Amino acid sequence: MKIATFNAASIRARLPIVLEWLAEHEPDVLAVQETKVEDDKFPREEFEELGYHLAIHGQKSWNGVVTLSRLPATGVRCGFSDDLFPSDCRLLVTEIDGLPILNTYVPNGNRVGSDKFDYKLRWLERFVQFLNQNFSPQTPLIWLGDVNIAPTPLDVYDSKRFYGGVGHHPEEFKRLDRIKEWGLTDLYRMLHPEERGFTFWDFVIPNSVPRDLGWRIDHIYATEPLVGKCLSCEVDRAPRLEHRPSDHTFLVAEFEI
């Protein structure tokens, strides 16, 4: 089973890249974040022509997540499914052939000390509660998406420079550690303990990709029953070098399921 994640930074702007990548790699599941389009304006037909089913949770101009799958999704849930936290199109739960897949676009945080940074921390805390309320670490589960955290010095090109800023802040690390302690394993870091594996390169940095000035903020996690079945977890850098790319690229995990 091949499962991938990609922050498109507008699915309509990145449609040719995503369609070409799907046709070439044929994943069983692709989780996309930052689609930036309402559900009724999502380019459904293009994906359905490639044989994919869609579960969509979108909004105009901001956020938005979609899960594309070869098999129909069941158990679809949008957001935290209660009134304890606002729904801003950042969380989409699906079950693909009985496997729960949590597609998330974690808030960026904007600036340390800002309301948006506080919101990011609270969102991560709410996510732990959501896991506790709805899932078990003893059963198969995939969590993936744009997590907007580079959790180790290997995960950002200049850790000393960025430590303490948004995306590489100890308070973010604490929240992410609590999520992992619930029972989730970072598959890329497990399989590549000493490699960087960046998934995001800022447009404002000239030639950031060939210079390898990036961040690893897109992740795929699994509970223990799936960890031993993970055959690979790799970054596909090529789409970031395409014409009109997203500032992110694809991360792909394969499982023997």
105 is catalytic: yes
Q: How far apart are CA 172 and CA 234, in angstroms?
A: 24
Residues 6+ apart with CB under 8 A from 50: 19, 22, 23
Q: Which residue in the list 39, 40, 88, 105 is annotated as catalytic?
A: 105
The answer to whether 250 and 18 are in contact (CB under 8 A) is no
Q: Does the annotation mark 146 as catalytic? A: yes
Q: Are strands 142-146 and 65-69 parallel, antiparallel or unpaired?
A: unpaired
Angstrom distance (rounded) from CA 64 to CA 92: 9
Active-site entry in 28, 146, 218, 247? 146
Find out whether 100 and 184 touch, Cβ atoms under 8 Å.
no
Residue 159 parent element (H or E): helix 159-162
Residue 71: count of CB within 10 angstroms of its CB: 14
Residue 147 corresponds to which amino acid?
Answer: V
Catalytic residues: 105, 146
